Structure 1
Amino acid sequence: MSRSEWQKSSYSGASNECVEVRTVDGMVELRESDDGEVIVRTTAVKFAKFLQGVKAGEFDHLGDLCS
């Protein structure tokens, strides 16, 4: 099994409230650092498309749901 270490954004600093990412056997895994038991798995292609959507602002309206 090919597995990388969990990584978090450098923007997170010392905070434990962030999303961590790693690869396992060609798949991308994501988890919240404060709840490491819940892991979401996806393909590298789908993850790349998700990141493109984030950068393009496709999900910005969802921030209104947290207010």
Structure 2
Amino acid sequence: MRNSIWQKSSYSGANSDCVEVRTVDGLIELRESDDGDVIVRTTRSKFAKLLQATKAGEFDHLTTP
């Protein structure tokens, strides 16, 4: 398995509670920067759909408990 470097949005600044992303062997991996034990792995096409849905506001109705 070939690992690449975890990256986070430049909008996160020095915050440690953000989502990080990297590419490994053609798949996209996501994790929370403050808890790297849980990693979500998906395909590029599914990640692109997630980004499109987020930008379109499809998750705006969700709230944090």
TM bucket, shorter chain: over 0.9
Deviations 1:12-62 (CA, angstroms, capped at 9, x unpaired): 001101000000000000000000010000000000000000000010001
Structure-1-length-normalised TM-score: 0.91
Please, what is the CA RMSD of the aligned residues? 1.1
Structure 1 residues without counterparts, runs of 5 or longer: none
Per the normalisation by structure 2, the TM-score is 0.94
Over 2 Å off, 4+ runs: none
For 1:27 and 1:3, locate their aligned partners in 2 and report how far apart those are by CA, in whole Å: 11
**Larger helix proportion of the pair:** 1
Percentage identity across aligned positions? 74
Length, aligned pairs only: 65
Which residue in the other structure is 1:20 paired with? 20
